[in-house]
Structure 1
Amino acid sequence: MGCRCDTVCGLIVGSVVGALVAVFGAILMPVGDNIIASTVNKEAVLEPGTTAYENFASAGNPFYRQFWLYDVLNAAGVVELGEKPEVKERGPYTYRTRYLPKENITAHENHTVSFLLPAGAIFEPSMSVGPEEDEVTVLNLGVAGAYSSLDHGLLNFLMQSTNSSLFQRRSVKEVLWGYRDPLLLSSLVGVFYPYNGTFDGPYSIFTGKDDISKVSLIDKWNDQSTLSFWDNPYCDMINGTDASSFPPFLDKKEPLFFFSSDICRSVSAVYSGSHDLMGIDVYRYKLPPRTLASPVENPDNMCFCRDELVTRNCTLAGVLDVSSCRGFPVYISLPHFLHGSAHLSQAVHGLSPSEEHHFTYLDVEPTTGFTLRFAKRLQVNMMYGPSTKITALQHVKDYTIFPVVWLNETATVDEETADMFKKELVSRIDLLDNLQIGLMSVGSAMCVLCAVAACVVKRGRKRNIIA
């Protein structure tokens, strides 16, 4: 009978111990979360010695810009017969960019750090369809640039005296990086001229030292806390980061905001799903269609409408006039006018917008806020229209926002960095989670089994006594 008591007592003790183990596992959950949060918050601060600062100060993973140029197939027909232009994209022509580390990194007393982003491009033949000397028939940048700024009679005189037309034959290298244009008195002109040897910034961003929720947020760009391109407080706001990282512990219900100097404005991206990137769970954020929607659909975009004539009284969706920012009449859109008004793609034959190939996205690790992969896809367009004074435009019937080139700028964390990331963060979080779950599971099972066994033994003992 003493043995039976010892058995019951042991089972009761086992049940209590199991309950304590399960409770300990439950207690570890907030404790573990606090440990993770403390570690991440420490390493996410932009100051020497932290993981975030090492990534911030170095050149990082290679960035690539792939370019597809729109080769005009019926240039003579457009000029002489008023045909709609027909194009075929040529590419990719790939360049390595952002291979230079940030310069003039300077810490300031208000918990910000400033820096310059040097620009450079190196052609990558192995990732291209041909040499950058390949020639394409493209819109004449000089003519399109002068169309809205010069008297048309003067422009026609200059075009005839320099033998210029609406379209021209140029090499990929010339179109992208610049060439001497006789129409513009031999000035250099190119879609991305000037680029090599230039800088973006200076940027000033918060370090997160005093408030981790502000880490990487832009304080100033070009020494200004707001833009001056849009003549409107809302559109001139500089919101978010530069998209290379965000404050840690993302909430997928909240959008991410970032500023892009390429499009001279801030935008937001929304959560679209989770993905596996080399064994790391990341949140994918995409630009929503309303980003470049017409003011009719998105009233917030009214202050981005600069030309009511070209945009059809601000009802045209899908393009952003960045002329005031670039100093040259340029329109930015998504490739092939994705999410744009039908008028845009119908004005030029040969376009085929695709959500899969032409959308912009960021893959962000949600705990740290680090962007581990992204694809920024933009299209550069220029405009021309009818003119009774310009011979080459006398058969043109309507204003046309014409695609010149679209780009896909990408970067992905390399395997070495991904392995380090998994070792330093993911594996530790997984270990802690597994320990918590293991303690709760084992403790709960032990508690229940011992309690049930104790009841069984007690009932058995009662039956023996009655017998």
Structure 2
Amino acid sequence: MYINFYYFQQVILKEGNVLYNIWRDLPIPIYMQFYLFDVKNPEEVMQGKKPYVEQKGPYTYSEKRVKYDIVHNDNGTVSYKQNRTFHFIPEMSVGKETDEFTTPNPVYWSLISALEWQPAELNRIITFLIKFIGEDVFTKRSMSGIIWGQNDTALTLAMQLAPSWFYTNFIGYFMNKNATNDGVYTIFSGQKGTTGDIGFIDKYNGSKYLDFWTSPWANMVNGSDGTIGPPYVSKSRVPYAFASDICRSVSGKYTEDVEFKGVNLWRYGAEMSYLENATLNPNNAGFCTPPGQCLDTGIINISSCQIVDFFHIPVSMSLPHFYLGSDRYINAVYNMKPNKEEHETVLDMEPHTGWIFSAAKRLQVNLHMKPVPGIE
């Protein structure tokens, strides 16, 4: 490959360079689209039958990303925060934010799962809340309430009964994610040394490691933030990206050449090794929480980094419809239709600059439901 020195100079993250302002304040449209599952047979599920769900979506939001508190460090890195703001787009959505869905109750399951680990005194309060308020396995909530959060009756009462344990009555899967940042990133700018590490994360929130997982390997912060990488890389390179959504780094692999508005790009897709269970890939044992409690291929328990009121929300992440996951998950819910075109995560990179021209990150949020002794 012919290497143009001009590219090297312009992709460096330095004020005045061609790509610096684009990196700081992305002018391209970014959309967050939500597809929700409506549980059609909650009563049957309570009797032990499989859930039957119907998917509805997209509910589309524009996403604006602006980097701020930018500090260029003496060691050739740059630190920043990134504000993400979402605005609902009715004309690109199938319905309104007020559309209601029957869904597993995140408050109920967070309280239930806490019974295994919390002190006996707190367990008595939790059991009282569940019985007194009438919290149930399923709940009916609006789309915006499920995603962005809403006030909850049980949590309101809990704040009155045990204020030292409950500090908020607001809960949603993406609560505190609008008009906020997801932490402090410190990445290599390319101003010192080679450009081979441009965009790679040096530290996240001041550390090279996370503290969510049970092994040093699992807690490593590897790769970029998924928006910029080094120029002139080979197709055989295994790119890594850190995703704060799932609290871990993931790897990808080159799959094919694609074209975007006349520009030739290299497409990268998910590498199967990061989806495999701990038997197939022993390194993934570090993502088993608690230690030794491992899920099967295609799903990861991220409850260790999803906390409300000191309680861990029992959330697990997968690809949509359990794509590339174990058949046991796909077959456990009626109406799962996993397919590559709709459900894979892809990233299209321009190889000369290392910049991402097009990407689709697709994730499914699952609530991990399991029996707890003492609760009917």
Matches within 5 A, 1:92-107: 92-97=58-63, 99-107=64-72
Whether the aligned pair in 2 keeps the contact of 1:252 and 1:271 (CA below 8 Å) is: yes
- The C-alpha deviation readout for 1:250-274, integer Å capped at 9, x for no partner, is 2001111111111111111100000
CA contact 2:113–2:372 (8 Å) conserved in 1: no
Q: Residue in 2 aligned with 1:126?
A: 91
Residue 325 of structure 2 corresponds to 340
Q: CA RMSD in A?
A: 1.8
Question: Match for residue 110 of structure 1?
Answer: 75
Residue pair 1:248, 1:366 contacting (<8 A) in 2 also: yes
State the AA in 1 paired with 2:333: V
> Which letter maps to 2:267?
R
* Cα displacement (A) at 1:347: 1.8
Deviation, 1:388, is 5.6
2:320 maps to 1:319: no
Aligned to 1:205: 187
Which residue is 2:165 aligned to? none
**Which of 332-341 and 148-157 deviates more?**
148-157
Question: What letter corresponds to residue 88 of structure 1 in structure 2?
Answer: E
Asked if 1:62 is matched to 2:29, the reply is: yes
Q: Separation in 1 of the partners of 2:277 and 2:131?
A: 38
Q: 2:172 aligns with which of 174, 190, 194?
A: 190
Q: Distance in 2 between matches of 1:50 and 1:364?
A: 20
Asked if 2 retains the 8 angstrom alpha-carbon contact of 1:333 and 1:381, the reply is yes
Count how many residue pairs are aligned between Structure 1 and Structure 2.
Answer: 353
Q: Distance in 2 between matches of 1:364 and 1:46?
A: 17
**In structure 2, how many angstroms separate the alpha carbons of the residues matched to 1:53 and 1:190?**
35
| Higher fraction of helix | 1
Is the Cα–Cα contact under 8 Å of residues 233 and 351 in structure 2 kept in the other structure? Answer: yes
Q: Give the % identical residues.
A: 36
Match of 2:276 in 1: 293
Partners in 1 of 2:225 and 2:33 — Cα distance? 20
Supply the AA of the counterpart residue of 1:239: N
Do residues 233 (structure 1) and 210 (structure 2) align?
A: no
Q: Deviations over 1:29-65 (max 9, x none)?
A: x9xx35x2x0110001000111231211113312111
Preserved contact between residue 155 and residue 390 of structure 1 (Cα < 8 Å) = no
Aligned residue identity for 1:357: E
In the alignment, what sits opposite 1:281?
264
| Deviation sequence 1:176-216 (CA, Å, 0-9, x none) | 00111222236111011112232112111111012211111
- 2-structure distance, mates of 1:178, 1:337: 24
Residues 219-248 of structure 1: per-residue CA shift (max 9 Å, x gap): 111111211111321111111111101100
More deviation, 299-308/341-350: 299-308
Counterpart for residue 27 of structure 1? none
| Structure 2 match to 1:85 | 51
Contact 2:257 2:264 in 1 (8 A): yes
> CA offsets per residue over residues 415-452 of structure 1, 9 Å max, x none?
xxxxxxxxxxxxxxxxxxxxxxxxxxxxxxxxxxxxxx
TM-score in terms of structure 2 length = 0.90
AA partner of residue 201 (structure 1): G
Give the residue type in structure 2 aligned to 1:74.
N
1:146 and 2:141 correspond: no
Q: CA deviation at 1:290?
A: 2.2
Other structure's SS at 1:102 match: strand
Provide the C-alpha distance between the structure 2 equivalents of 1:347 and 1:307, rounded to a whole number of angstroms: 23
How many angstroms does 1:108 deviate by? 1.0
Q: Is the 8 A contact 2:242 2:249 kept in 1?
A: yes
Higher relative contact order (CA 8 A, sep 6+): 1
**Aligned mate of 1:374, from 359, 362, 376:** 359
Where structure 1 has 5 or more consecutive residues not aligned to the other structure, the ranges are 1-29, 392-467
Match for 1:352: what amino acid? K
Give 1:385's aligned residue. 370
The structural deviation recorded for 1:160 is 2.8
| 8 A contact 1:176–1:191 mirrored in 2 | yes
Work out whether 1:263 is the aligned partner of 2:246: yes
TM value normalised by structure 1: 0.73
Match of residue 349 from structure 1: 334
In 2, Cα distance between the equivalents of 1:377 and 1:195?
A: 17
**Is the 1:116–1:202 contact (alpha carbons within 8 Å) kept by the matching residues of 2?**
yes
State the distance in 2 between where 1:329 and 1:348 align.
18
- After superposing on structure 2, the runs of 4+ consecutive aligned residues of structure 1 that deviate more than 3 Å are 151-157
Query: What CA deviation, in whole Å up to 9, does each residue of 1:61-91 have, x standing for no partner?
Result: 1211110111000011222x22211111111
Contact 1:206 1:218 in 2 (8 A): yes
The secondary structure found in structure 2 opposite 1:303 is helix
Query: What letter corresponds to residue 261 of structure 1 in structure 2?
Result: S
CA shift in 2, pair 1:59/1:39, >3 Å: same
Q: Which residue of 2 aligns with 1:249?
A: 232
